[in-house]
Structure 1
Amino acid sequence: MKRLYEKLAIVLICFTGFIHEGSSIKEVAAMLPALSVSALAQLLPGRKLTAVLLALCAALCGILPPMVCMLPLLLYDALWEGKWQLILCGLTYFMGEPDASQVAISAACCAVTVMIYLRVSKLEETVDTLRSLRDEVTEKNMQLKSTNEAIARAQDSEIHIATLKERNRIAREIHDNVGHMLTRSLLQAGALMIINKDEQLKEPLESLKTTLDNAMTSIRQSVHDLHDDSIDLRRGIEEAISAVDGRFTVKLDYDMSEKAAGNVKLCILGIVKESLSNAVKHSTGDRINVSVQEHPAFYRLTVEDNGKCGEIAQTGIGLENMRERAASIGGTINYTATEKGFRVFMSVPK
């Protein structure tokens, strides 16, 4: 749009040259082809047709002398085409009887046109540079945002792992220290009850043993809860996948909350490891899909590969171990072998 405004200004400059002319018909005849070619150059830049028409229009100066007044406009378009030499065709004007004053006016107008072109081209170059810088800054900001998000996720993951390790350490400390002391106290209380012959101490000793039993139950439940919370199932599965033979491409589809019981998590993790190990040992395929999903009423695990398998050795130790694991938490497990691959499917009700 800015270039159109500049062209309008150049056209007004060209009109000053027509003041020297006397025939309005020749002026109109010179303006129409020049304006038409200039408009075409605006619509079809960089075309051979545009360059040819600019040269022909400039050459008309030899036939139609008032055309020399429109040379500044043609020069402007030729400069944007990168072929200012096309205006040299306007030298045909000197084949006739050139008007010195008209030549001076046209030359001055061409000089002004060149200055306008230099100003506008420099301005457009600056705008392009600023636009490029803006795009580069936007891209850098997006990369920085992505990097910051990745760092934040990594920090959250490290904090989560550290929290789980600390919970596991606390559970071990309680189990090894407090649990053992309570167990010893229970044994001592039981021994005192056996050897006690004083009826007045019988009831206090029974109360003491009951209190110690309740404390042991509470401690055991707390340790159990801490241990359950310290199991990061997803991380365990990802570590098992990372250890798989490089000839396999393993895809994990994980959608399960961290609220599952510890025995369920351990069962799923154990079956995933056993299934991956079996696939590496026996499968002829190159792809394994692992899916762990939580539904409103049950948990679902699927491990399948794309290797050919004709039949299943039902007496295999690995398959029997997985069946026992599933049964221990009330789940069911099925194995399916087809020409398209081997599939392990387990369902555990909540």
Structure 2
Amino acid sequence: MNRFFDKILIHCLSIIAMLNIMHGNYLVLTICLSVALSGAELYLLNDGDYKEFFQYDSILDYMGVLLDIVAILICLSDKRLIIVIPVILYDIVFSRNIVGLLLSIIVYVSSAYQITSDGDVSQMNILYVGLIMLISFYLAANTKKINRLNRKCIELRDDTHIKQEQLAKQNAKLVVARDEQIHSAQLAERNRIAREIHDNVGHMLSRAILQMGALLSIYKEEPLHEQLEGVRETLDGAMNNIRSSVHDLHDESIDVRAQIETMAKPLNEKFKVDLELDIDENMNRQIKYVIIGVCKEAISNIMKYSVNSNVDIKLVWHPSMYQLVIHDYYQMSNDENGKEMRKQASKNNVLSSYISNSSGMGLEGIRNRVESVDGLVRIMDDDGFKVFVTIPIK
């Protein structure tokens, strides 16, 4: 937009000079051609930052530069066209057209000399045209600088926005990592408390119950026997409550994600592992044990018998069920070579190797675990060993 207003100003200043140098139809024709040339250059030359002469982004830029050179050369044909040079000079400076700049100076000096020699035009008009050329040069250079600063401002704003998004993502990851560390620490502390209660208070209560049983066998007279029986019932109740609390604390301290990640670590030495775990923090204790047990058995099978390259472990939490998929496979192309490799891999897959080496006892254990929580399991040969488990949420 700055170029448009710059050109209007230069045209207005040039027309003032034209009125003193030209008259009649020639004046009107020159003004029309000057405006047309300026409009064409406004279309052909983009607002980019031209760093070097004749190194432009598009064919339109080259056309604009050549048009300026041709227009300057045409000005040599008539000394009165000196007044058009400021209009052309603006685009020459804007596009870093060094050849055009040199030609503009040569044409101006040549035309000024001819006009002065003939005495047709006053020297003040010649100097006025030179002043317009300086103004045109300044406006073009200043507009280029403003455009360059605007582009840098936009780039800086975009970079800042991108960095802010990256920083927000990093902060979100840090928050998640912090929450996971806090959660792990809480689980570890609950496990420690449960162990302390079990090892200390539980043993003391067990000893007290045994001692009370001995006293009951010795003191059978009433009312002492009845009172001792009441104390034993109280101790039994306390023992049951502590046992229940310890079990609850221990169940809460079971971190399914940490358990599966720990079991999957050895796989990284031989396989490319894709681990996707969507964990329900309120998962039932028995389901936790089933999922961990299935993962342990399946990972053990893969470590022992797999000759494939990839292992996927995915636990998905749906509103009504949990889905666990453990799959080892060999990533191959679909060409003839890939099909042949797939056939060879199917002959050596984990499922057939595992069944032949263990009589299917481990697979039966997986089925029993899943069926104990009313789940469904499919163990199949899908370019390798694949366990697909579905457990309903009750």
* Fold-level similarity (TM above 0.5): yes
Q: Does the alignment pair 1:322 with 2:366? A: yes
The equivalent of 1:60 in structure 2 is 74
The equivalent of 1:17 in structure 2 is 17
Q: CA deviation at 1:229?
A: 0.7
**2:381 pairs with one of 306, 312, 337:** 337
**Alpha-carbon separation, structure 2, partners of 1:136 and 1:113:** 34
Q: CA deviation at 1:2?
A: 1.4
**1:93 pairs with one of 111, 115, 118:** 111
**Alpha-carbon separation, structure 1, partners of 2:40 and 2:320:** 72
1:37 maps to a residue whose letter is L
**1:127 pairs with one of 111, 136, 150:** 150
Moved more, 55-64 or 34-43: 55-64
Give the 3 Å change call, closer, same or farther, for CA 201–348 of structure 1 in structure 2: farther
Unaligned runs of 5+ in 2: 46-55, 330-344
1:76 maps to a residue whose letter is Y
Q: CA deviation at 1:160?
A: 0.9
Contact 2:280 2:317 in 1 (8 A): yes
The equivalent of 1:271 in structure 2 is 294
**Alpha-carbon separation, structure 1, partners of 2:159 and 2:278:** 38
SS of residue in 2 equivalent to 1:19: helix
**Alpha-carbon separation, structure 2, partners of 1:74 and 1:248:** 69
The equivalent of 2:49 in structure 1 is none
Show CA shifts across 1:220-266 (max 9, x none). Answer: 11111111111110121122222214342222332331222334323
TM-score for the superposition, normalised by structure 1: 0.89
Give the 3 Å change call, closer, same or farther, for CA 79–298 of structure 1 in structure 2: closer
TM-score for the superposition, normalised by structure 2: 0.80
Give the 3 Å change call, closer, same or farther, for CA 347–15 of structure 1 in structure 2: closer
Identity among equivalent positions (%) equals: 32
The equivalent of 2:43 in structure 1 is 43
Q: CA deviation at 1:59?
A: 2.5
Q: CA deviation at 1:137?
A: 2.7
**Alpha-carbon separation, structure 2, partners of 1:348 and 1:145:** 36
Q: CA deviation at 1:188?
A: 1.6
Give the 3 Å change call, closer, same or farther, for CA 334–104 of structure 1 in structure 2: closer
SS of residue in 2 equivalent to 1:259: coil
The equivalent of 1:168 in structure 2 is 191
Moved more, 256-265 or 24-33: 256-265
The equivalent of 2:28 in structure 1 is 28
Give the 3 Å change call, closer, same or farther, for CA 193–249 of structure 1 in structure 2: same
Q: Does the alignment pair 1:240 with 2:260? A: no
**Alpha-carbon separation, structure 2, partners of 1:293 and 1:331:** 14
1:343 maps to a residue whose letter is K
Contact 1:34 1:57 in 2 (8 A): no
Give the 3 Å change call, closer, same or farther, for CA 131–171 of structure 1 in structure 2: same
Contact 2:378 2:387 in 1 (8 A): yes
The equivalent of 1:145 in structure 2 is 168
**1:79 pairs with one of 93, 97, 101:** 93
Q: Does the alignment pair 1:157 with 2:180? A: yes
**Alpha-carbon separation, structure 1, partners of 2:74 and 2:322:** 87
**Alpha-carbon separation, structure 2, partners of 1:289 and 1:137:** 38
Aligned length: 349
SS of residue in 2 equivalent to 1:120: helix
Contact 1:62 1:96 in 2 (8 A): no
Show CA shifts across 1:275-313 (max 9, x none). Answer: 122113222321222232345565443212225237333
SS of residue in 1 equivalent to 2:315: strand
Give the 3 Å change call, closer, same or farther, for CA 337–138 of structure 1 in structure 2: closer
**Alpha-carbon separation, structure 2, partners of 1:171 and 1:139:** 48
Unaligned runs of 5+ in 1: none
Pairing of 1:306-317 with structure 2 (within 5 A): 306=329, 308=346, 309=349, 311=352, 312-313=355-356, 315-317=359-361
Q: CA deviation at 1:324?
A: 5.0
SS of residue in 2 equivalent to 1:285: coil
**Alpha-carbon separation, structure 2, partners of 1:278 and 1:188:** 49
The equivalent of 1:262 in structure 2 is 285
Pairing of 1:217-236 with structure 2 (within 5 A): 217-236=240-259
Q: CA deviation at 1:95?
A: 8.6
Show CA shifts across 1:301-346 (max 9, x none). Answer: 32122252373336245435434544665655442235x2222233
Q: CA deviation at 1:132?
A: 3.0
Show CA shifts across 1:97-136 (max 9, x none). Answer: 5545243221111011112223222222333333333333
Contact 1:193 1:205 in 2 (8 A): yes
